[in-house]
Structure 1
Amino acid sequence: MAKKNIVPLKELNLTDRFLFDEVMEDPTIHQEVLSLILGREISLLQESKTEKESRISPLIRSIRMDLFAIDSEEQVYNTEMQKKRKDDLPKRSRYYQGMMDTGLLEPGIPSYNLLNDSYLIMIMPFDLFGYGKYQYTFVPQCQEVPECRLQDGTVRIFLNTKGKNDDEVPKELAEFLHYVENTTDEVAQQSESEKIRHIHERVCEVKRSEEIGVKYMQAWEEKYYEREEGREEGIREKLKELVGKKLKKGKTAEEIADMLEEDPQVIKELIKEIEKEGRS
């Protein structure tokens, strides 16, 4: 991937995690976004934490929450921007919500009723479930008695910017989701929502900031080099696999180098690795 393919900061949408995190670091904006999504006013207790890591053991997979916050009623929120469709998102949401709970009770707390209510919110520019809804809200309920709710305090919300049920959701929510996918002056101006205007002001502030612009370039370059290193490692492993196959057929290092059009010294180093692995 060439460096020239970087998308300028000013052209990012809120579906891009970098812009989303930078915008939501403003606690007032974070409050307004949560209030808009949940349809009620929310007052956060502390500054929003972006990229919050949760780990309970070195042997257990950690998670890195996009946006974590607690409100004045001690309800916990984790908001995730998920730009790419992946087939593990439902189970990922289960894992995330479980990991959110691990740090909420101190040792010795006698009752699990003291667990905070928690909300896991995933925003995505695709319809994960295929029913054309802007919002899919999941709470545990009894299969045999649907009106019987488990009341365990957990809520998972999946938001879809491409929803079609405008008559079933608040207009402000639908406008916000359209704005998330197309974060432009034009889309913001079309909305009558004061919250969306405030969000857009923050977006413009972030996009104008020279400091954040430098931070964005640094973050992009780090990811670029990580991808390049991963790609190079993958190429090397594939070459090593081919060398191993040729060795089994009795080919010499020079013959393999000639067949694969590679530097003989590189092939010899790979053969040493293969032989060492075979002895271990």
Structure 2
Amino acid sequence: MQNLATKFENLTIQSDFIFKKVMSRKRICIHLLEELLQIKIADISYFEAEKSLEPDYASRGIRLDIIVADDKNTHYNLEMQVNNIKNPDTKNYVLPKRTRYYQALMDIDLLQKGQEYDLLPPSFVIFICVFDFFAKGNYVYTFKKRCLEDLELELPDEATTMILNTKGSHGNISKDIKSFYDYVNNHIINSDFTKQIDDEISYLKLDTKVRREFMLLEARLLDERREGRADEKVSIAKLMLAKGCYSLQEIIELTGLSIDDIEKLKNDMHVEKQA
């Protein structure tokens, strides 16, 4: 396994960490949005990168990569997606429902308590995917709500979801978006725009503060993974204890927990049962 220093040096635009840093540069983020949507943007304001949205204690919080608002108060959420993830339980791909959830939580966050619904600003959820989710070959898949009985009738909720396919082969995109795709896919620099991005990444990798931030982030993620594995071991041990057909030694061997840990679990389960 490569050490963190080597991992940092090998980071590309496909990395969430680098993508957030690069898109935190106004000139790059604005140009990407202008070229993608074929609009003019005078300025953008940033909400914090990797913004956490947790509407209440019972909801599933999310971390958004980049959220910006332009000078016309249109809001954009930009996400880099490297893996086409499946739910291991249902075997369903999670991307479509993920975009729906991101849009919903953005709307909750954007609408102040007590405000009228019509004050919700226009919004775009944009997923930059290094895979073709729909296998149609399009460079871009843009979704809005339409009436099934009259496909010309669009629901004017001003919410748009865009799935970008960097592996696409057809459709109408600008030269700079195509060059951005080439850069994301194969690190090919064939435009001033991708030269700016590549230079920015080079500067980031020379910045000791950015390096330190990456190291701390990786350490935090490692701790979270370890905690997740520990929780999984405890859950398995509880299940084995509840079944009552496993010996103490079998539970130790299968979970890796200590005798003291398992005895504590037994006592806790007994107390819960008596309560």
CA change 1:38–1:265 in 2 (3 A) is: same
Deviation, 1:243, is 3.4
CA RMSD after TM alignment: 2.6
Provide closer, same or farther for how the CA distance between residues 226 and 136 of structure 1 changes in structure 2, counting only shifts above 3 A.
same
Structure with max Cα Rg = 1
Cα deviation, residue 196, structure 1: 2.0
Q: Is the alpha carbon distance of 1:33 and 1:10 closer, same or farther for their aligned partners in structure 2, counting shifts above 3 Å?
A: farther
How many residue pairs get aligned? The number is 265
* Cα offset, 1:240, TM superposition: 3.3
The alpha carbon displacement at 1:195 in A equals 2.0
Task: Give the TM-score normalised by structure 1.
Answer: 0.83
* Unmatched runs of 5 consecutive residues or more in structure 1: none
Whole-angstrom distance in 2 between the partners of 1:235 and 1:106: 42
Indicate conservation of the 8 Å contact 2:237/2:251, yes or no: no
Q: Which residue of 1 aligns with 2:22?
A: 23
Q: Contact (CA 8 Å) 1:134, 1:164: kept in 2 or not?
A: yes
Matched AA of 1:203: I
**Of 96, 100, 105, the match for 2:102:** 96
- TM-superposition CA deviations, 1:30-77 (whole Å, max 9, x none): 112212322333233324531122344334433322111111111111
Residue equivalent to 1:123: 128
CA 1:74/1:95 → structure 2, altered by over 3 Å: closer, same or farther? same
Aligned residues with identical type, % of pairs: 29
**Unmatched segments (≥5 aa) in structure 2:** 86-92
Which residue of structure 1 aligns with residue 56 of structure 2? 57
Q: Quick check: 1:83 aligned with 2:89?
A: no
Structure 1 ranges of 4+ moved more than 6 A = none
Q: Which of 238, 247, 250 is the aligned partner of 1:240? A: 238
The verdict on how the C-alpha distance between 1:270 and 1:10 changes in structure 2, with shifts beyond 3 A counting, is same
In the alignment, is the contact (CA less than 8 A) between 1:138 and 1:157 conserved in 2?
yes
Q: Which has the higher contact order (CA 8 A, sep 6+)?
A: 1
Query: Contact conserved, 1:26 with 1:48, CA < 8 A, in 2?
Result: no
Residues in 1 aligned to 2:138 and 2:131: alpha-carbon distance in whole angstroms: 10
Residue type of the alignment partner of 1:217: M
* Residue 263 of structure 1: how far off its partner (Å): 5.0
Q: Which residue identity is paired with 1:181?
A: N
Which residue of the partner structure matches residue 215 of structure 1?
213
* Alignment check: 8 A CA contact 1:25 1:48 kept: no
